[in-house]
């Protein structure tokens, strides 16, 4: 599993922006503006995931004031993520990992046993500093547990 001090796995993936644009972006592109917070979540339009992304929306100023940018990450298509962002008035971009390369690279893949869903993201948060190193890593094996938002905000400020 990716941990604090590791080089962040590089990637290129479609990003759904709040203005409705969808663009292919690489991690190196995202880091041009400073540190990034990658918040992996199992799936759009689910209750806990919606609650988490809305909480990040409401607390976004603390992350951006720290000089970091926030990106949600799930295996949903960029088109589903665009609608999810629109419905929930999300003010930050969402990365589509529909090919499951990011959850594999960050080693945060899980299955929902009994539901027949394989290969969704564990709820997890990684802060990647400008040099591309992971400065914060949090991963939950319980999809019902949300991150400690104040801890994430502090990690973004320290990145």
Domain limits of the chain? 12-158
Phi, psi of 62, rounded to the nearest 5 degrees = -65, -35
DSSP 55-108: HHHHTHHHHHHTT-EEEEEESS-HHHHHHHHHHTT--S-EEE-TT-HHHHHTT-
CB atoms within 10 A of CB 154: 15
Report the largest interatomic distance among the alpha carbons of the chain, rounded to a whole angstrom. Answer: 42
Tokens (6 digits) for 96: 């589509």
What is the per-residue pLDDT across 36-94, written as a single tens digit (0 to 9) for each?
Answer: 999 999 999 988 999 999 999 999 999 999 999 999 999 999 999 999 999 999 999 99
pLDDT band of residue 145 (cuts 50, 70, 90) is very high
Rounded CA separation 116/126 (Å): 27
Question: What positions carry a catalytic annotation?
Answer: 49
pLDDT exceeding 70 applies to what percent of the chain?
95
pLDDT band of residue 113 (cuts 50, 70, 90) is low
In what helix (H) or strand (E) does residue 117 lie, and over which residues does it extend? strand 117-121
User: Fold for domain 12-158?
Assistant: Glutaredoxin (3.40.30)
Instruction: Say whether pTM exceeds 0.75.
Output: yes
pLDDT band of residue 142 (cuts 50, 70, 90) is confident
């Amino acid at each position: 599993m990716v941990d604090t001090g590791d080089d962040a796995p590089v990637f290129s993936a479609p990003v759904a922006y709040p203005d409705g644009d969808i663009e292919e972006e690489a991690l190196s592109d995202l880091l041009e503006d400073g540190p990034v917070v990658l918040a992996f979540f199992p799936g759009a339009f689910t209750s806990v995931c919606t609650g988490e992304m809305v909480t990040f929306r409401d607390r976004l100023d603390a992350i951006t004031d720290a000089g970091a940018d926030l990106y949600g990450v799930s295996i949903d298509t960029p088109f589903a993520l665009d609608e999810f962002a629109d419905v929930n008035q999300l003010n930050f971009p969402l990365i589509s990992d529909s090919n499951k390369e990011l959850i594999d690279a960050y080693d945060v893949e899980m299955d929902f046993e009994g539901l027949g869903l394989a290969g969704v993201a564990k709820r997890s948060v990684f802060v990647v500093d400008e040099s591309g190193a992971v400065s914060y890593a949090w991963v939950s094996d319980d999809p019902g547990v949300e991150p400690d938002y104040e801890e994430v905000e502090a990690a973004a400020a320290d990145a």
